[in-house]
Amino acid sequence: MISVDLKGRRALVAGVADDVGFGFAIARALAEAGASVCLACWPPALGIFETLLRRGKLDASRKLSNGQELTFERIYALDAAYDTLDDVPAEIRENRRYAGRGDFTISGAAQQMKEEFGAPQLDVLVHCLANGPEVHKPLLDTSRQGYLAALSVSSYSLVSMVRHFAPLMPRGGSVLSLTYLASERVIPGYGGGMSSAKAALEADTRYLAFQAGRKYGLRINTISAGPVATRAASVTGVIDEIVDYYAANAPLPEKLTTREVAEVATFLASPLASAVTGSTLYVDKGFHAMGKALGDSKDHL
């Protein structure tokens, strides 16, 4: 029987802030497959996450199928808007939510991992990072600052993370990110430049797969996940409507779960996907294949 086996491998999942999003689900699935899991969390959210862990509020979500408990080998503070501390404005460095977090930049997190673990330090890198400060605004009303902020954290951060973490990874290592169908179709309500950021993320995945594949032997893929009503998605204000629309019109007429996306991520992280790179893999109950909404009973045949 073929099974996903990640024993002896270390994964870093960047962009976890709670136990209901894709990041946590992927971390859990990787641990189920035997991987050691580290997290990277946005500093303003990290304190809350640590409190939830300490008070046992996440205990139920951390139960694995074998009865063991999901533990995190290390939790790093990471603000993916910054490559080095020199890039960080004084008002951010002095903010109390960043106090005591050390070097929370992308290069800082990579350096910490390099110093704390023997080589290879990292086998699987998962990018679950996205932020569009004006996502609630139509693209037509999005400011230059809001647009560039969306691209910085949601897409360029993948480029920076591959550049800084690839030297820590062995040949055959896997890098994954999450994208969305708004990169190629109009999704009303998904604004603020986030659609452009996801399109850039997919294009960058192809280029990084070629360049990091030739230079480091890494595989780089992205998952185009269907909508799930996570806390992060709720900022759009239309996520429930989109989830219901997908479920009504997809070839598999049911709601997607974070676990289903996490299981595909675990496959892509494993040697079973050794020939898969530069790909955008749809995990959305087949909705991406549809060209027409279901309008009457005949459409359901």
pTM here is: 0.94
Neighbours of 249 (CB within 10 A): 17
pLDDT at 301: 45
Task: Give all domains of the chain, ordered by start, each with its CATH number.
Answer: 10-288 (3.40.50.720)
For 100-119, letters b (16+ CB in 10 Å) and e give ebebbbbbbbbebbbeebee
- Terminal Cα distance for the chain, rounded: 36
In the set 36, 154, 196, 198, the catalytic residue is 198
- Render each residue's pLDDT in the chain as its tens digit; 301 residues: 688 999 999 999 999 999 999 999 999 999 999 999 999 999 999 999 999 999 999 999 999 998 999 999 999 999 999 999 999 999 999 999 999 999 999 999 999 999 999 878 999 999 999 999 999 999 999 999 999 999 999 999 999 999 999 999 999 999 999 999 999 999 998 999 999 999 999 999 999 999 999 999 999 999 999 999 876 666 666 788 999 999 999 999 999 999 999 999 999 999 999 999 999 999 999 999 999 888 654 554 4
pLDDT at 229: 81
pLDDT at 280: 98
Question: HSE of 138 in the Cβ direction (CA atoms, 13 Å)?
Answer: 4
Give the DSSP letter of residue 190. Answer: -
In the three-class reduction of DSSP (H, G, I as helix; E, B as strand; rest coil), residue 125 is classed as strand
In the set 36, 155, 174, 195, the catalytic residue is 155
Answer yes or no: 198 catalytic. Answer: yes
Contact partners, residue 234, CB within 8 Å, separation at least 6:
none
**Single-letter amino acid, residue 200:** A
For 40-68, letters b (16+ CB in 10 Å) and e give bbbbeebeebeebbeeeebeeebeeeeee
| φ, ψ (nearest 5 deg) of residue 176 | -130, 150
pLDDT at 233: 63
Answer yes or no: 285 catalytic. Answer: no
pLDDT at 234: 65
